[in-house]
Amino acid sequence: MRLVHKYGGSSVATTEKIMAIAQRVAQLRREGTDMAVVCSAMGKTTNSLIALAKKVNDSPSKREMDALLSTGEIQTVSLMAMALQSLGVDAISMTGFQSGFITNDVHSKAFIKEINTQRMEQYLAEGKVVVAAGFQGITEDGHITTLGRGGSDTTAVAIAAKLGCPCEIYTDVDAVYTVDPRIYPAARALERISYEEMMEMASLGAGVLETRSVELAKKYGVSLYLGRALENEKKGTTIMSQQAFFEDMPVAGISIKEHCAIVSFPPMDYNASSAASIFSLIAGANINLDMINQNIVEGKVAFSFSCSDEQALELERQLNASQEGPALQIRRDLTQLSLVGVGMATHTGVAVRVFRTLAQYQIPYYQITTSEISISFTIDKENKEQAVQALAKEFDL
């Protein structure tokens, strides 16, 4: 049997934690499991490196930042391999380059083009535990890239997909909850959730798993488990295909995303070139769009989208520098709430219950978008807790 384990930064923050994880992996190996272990950088290493970079350059080049940040994961995996070796387990560390993660050249958020697992398969066949650096890859030209924050989850799932085995992601949270327990302490841990719901939760800010990793798991049918590192019982959440049992509940959880901004374009003439100019501007700034709204009023197009506060700032900087493009209106310090549930597809009236509840507490809401299994909207950040509590009560979360 093969298995991929992934340990996040807080789970490998100290050499003591690394040793404890090595003990556990060694046990599984001795029981006959072929193990691939993916690690993030230790604790706050990535943040420390970013702080160091900012000291020598206000806006460091992404190529150099990727080279710098990639060192964090390499340190963890070599230490993890050493720890396993000290327990008598044959183990070998692999950098992104060594584990064959070929990516495109979009530094700081690269996409995987290809994974050459030949070397990894060879090591597994030799009985070695493979310890692979998460988060990183290499372009065909040999430049070091990173997959973006949280990219180690993607590394782990991609390896599991290639090796055809389950992937267990260990982190500092117990499970996926119906609502962030820090904001709504009465929230419940979910034993199971569908890929689709988890993707909505992840992309909408639940923050426990990167969307891309869930998407990849769904695409390749990788069974995902999310739980707290080094807990004896499996109290975490299994992410699997959509099942009938989910349909009893219209809303599985509320996902909360902070530090959002809404960027609004002034009304423009409605023609193909105006739309093109908007999207080329967005593409140039490499912005991940969240919610998009477009209305056409009297032949003019009013376009707005939401993104992170940070990306809105970057966009503003670029526009000021280029002196071109429309004057944008940017509204910051918003919180986005999303209600997610595959049951929404069959239960009607969820949207009505949401907005009636908000109206009841006099909470203003801005952009709204909906999908088959989610309803999202932005509110002022100061209304976050009241809104979450009201909605969790309404939908029994």
* Footprint of a copy of itself (CB under 8 A): 15, 18-19, 22, 49, 52-53, 55-58, 60-61, 63-65, 67-68, 70-72, 74-75, 77-79, 81-83, 85-86, 92-93, 95, 97-98, 119, 142-144
127 versus 266: smaller Cβ distance to a copy of itself? 127
Q: In whole angstroms, give the CA distance from residue 193 to residue 240.
A: 6
Nearest-10 Cα torsion for 258, 262, 263, 269: 150
Q: In whole angstroms, give the CA distance from residue 182 to residue 173.
A: 11
DSSP string, 284-295: HTT-----EEEE
SS3 of residue 300 by DSSP: strand
88 versus 299: smaller Cβ distance to a copy of itself? 88
Residue 115 · residue 158 · CB < 8 Å = yes
64 versus 316: smaller Cβ distance to a copy of itself? 64
- In the complex, the smallest distance separating the C-beta of residue 119 from a copy of itself, rounded to whole angstroms, is 8
Q: In whole angstroms, give the CA distance from residue 274 to residue 305.
A: 15
- In the complex, the smallest distance separating the C-beta of residue 76 from a copy of itself, rounded to whole angstroms, is 9
10 Å Cβ neighbour count for 319?
A: 17
Q: In whole angstroms, give the CA distance from residue 36 to residue 244.
A: 33
Q: In whole angstroms, give the CA distance from residue 329 to residue 316.
A: 10
- In the complex, the smallest distance separating the C-beta of residue 281 from a copy of itself, rounded to whole angstroms, is 25
- List beta partners, residue 177: 189
- In the complex, the smallest distance separating the C-beta of residue 163 from a copy of itself, rounded to whole angstroms, is 20
- In the complex, the smallest distance separating the C-beta of residue 113 from a copy of itself, rounded to whole angstroms, is 19
- In the complex, the smallest distance separating the C-beta of residue 314 from a copy of itself, rounded to whole angstroms, is 17
110 versus 307: smaller Cβ distance to a copy of itself? 110
Hey, what are 300's tokens? 């003019």
Query: Which residues touch 158 (CB under 8 Å, ≥6 apart)?
Result: 101, 112, 115, 216
- In the complex, the smallest distance separating the C-beta of residue 23 from a copy of itself, rounded to whole angstroms, is 11
6 versus 107: smaller Cβ distance to a copy of itself? 107
Q: In whole angstroms, give the CA distance from residue 213 to residue 252.
A: 20
18 versus 263: smaller Cβ distance to a copy of itself? 18
10 versus 85: smaller Cβ distance to a copy of itself? 85
